[in-house]
Structure formats: C-alpha cells, structure tokens
Amino acid sequence: MKQLGGELKARLQAAMADGGPEAAVRVCADEAQAITAGLRAEGMRAGRASLRLRNPNNTAPAWVQQWLEVQGERKADGVVGIDTIDNGTARVLQPIAVDGICLTCHGAPQAIPPSVRTLLRERYAQDRATGYSPGDLRGAIWAEVALPKP
Ligand code: HEC
C-alpha cells in the first residue's frame, strides 16, 4: 500500500521535476504495474482501481469494484476506506484523492500538455481517466492476502 501510494507519488514528483511529464508517464504506468506484479509474486493481490480507468488492465476484485460504485463520482473528503479480516482474508483499501500534480495527466483534456496527450493516446486507446479536479476521488489503492491458517 505504501509502495503504491506515497512512494509512487514521490517518484512521480521527482520524475516530473527531472524529465517532465513525458518521462513521468513511465512512473505512473510501468512502476505501478511492476509493484503490483511483485506483490502478486509474494502471494498478495494489490492494485489501483477507479471507476474511470486509464489502463483497462487495472481491473479490481468484486469487493473493490463494489466500494467504488457505492462512492460514485465525488470529492474525496470524508471518504472512508476498508480494513477488514473476513473468512481468513485480510483486505485493505485506501481512497486516492486528486491533487494539483495529477492534473497534468488526469485533468481536463485541454489542460493536459499536447505532448502528454499524444503519449497517452498512443498508450491508452481507452483512456477514461481525464477530467478530474483537485479534491476529486480518483479511486482506491487496495490489497488482499489470505492469512495463514491458525
Ligand atoms: C505524468 C503523467 C501522470 C501523472 C502526473 C499522474 N498519473 Fe496517474 N496515471 C498515469 C498513467 C500513464 C496511468 C496508467 C497506468 C497503468 O498503465 O497502469 C495512470 C494511472 C493511474 C491510476 C490507476 C487507475 C487507472 O486509471 O488505470 C490511478 C489511481 C492514478 N493514475 C492516480 C493518479 C494520481 C492520484 C495522481 C496524482 C498524485 C496521478 N495519477 C498522476 C499518468 C499520470
């Protein structure tokens, strides 16, 4: 969760400052996928989910999808995540909010720099993850793991 949340955001900020948004697209894309694949190898499932996906491969399990649908499109303020153990499976979910740095790639299409828009169009033919404003609920980071039997 930490890797997909704060650490990824810090890496994103650094990449934006270093190489500009074109370079940072790599961070939000390849690194997030690498982190989730690594967690899967450790017997955990985790990912980033949204009602409006950029990458259609970011599908979520039913309990995450259900949470997203209950929240709907709204501001992130006051949204509560999930932290449960049910039937031997631990599940955690944290809401993700949009802030200023996200707008370069997830804001109104006309506010996205043309070079970034082109890059996104090339990589994500089915991109639905634009048009967000600061404070919007973007989606969630989730993780689940089967606990060892007592
Ligand atoms: C430099 C461009 C860029 C910036 C800035 C950026 N993103 Fe992304 N974002 C992407 C790309 C590219 C993907 C697709 C990732 C993939 O292929 O899994 C993505 C995917 C996501 C996803 C996964 C769900 C989906 O739509 O596929 C979430 C959640 C997300 N971004 C949240 C954020 C948040 C929150 C911020 C601000 C802190 C942010 N992004 C900033 C480019 C960006």
For residue range 92-102, list pLDDT tens digits in order: 999 999 999 99
The kind and range of the H/E element at 117 are: helix 114-123
Distance between Cα 28 and ligand 1 center (Å): 5
Ligand 1, atom nearest to 21 Cα: 1
pLDDT above 80: residue 150: no
Domain that holds residue 38: 3-146
Ligand 1, atom nearest to 128 Cα: 26
HSE-up of 58 (CA within 13 Å, CB side)?
A: 26
pTM equals 0.93
Cα dihedral across residues 103, 74, 52, 86: positive or negative: positive
Distance between Cα 137 and ligand 1 center (Å): 13
pLDDT for 117:
94
Mean local confidence (pLDDT), 22-36: 86
Buried b (16+ CB within 10 A) or exposed e, 68-95: beebeeeebeeeeeeeeeeeeeebbbbb
- For residue 145, the tally of other CB atoms under 10 A from its CB is 16
Domain count, the chain: 1
| 95 C-beta closer than 6 A to ligand 1 | no
Distance between Cα 122 and ligand 1 center (Å): 15
pLDDT for 82:
97
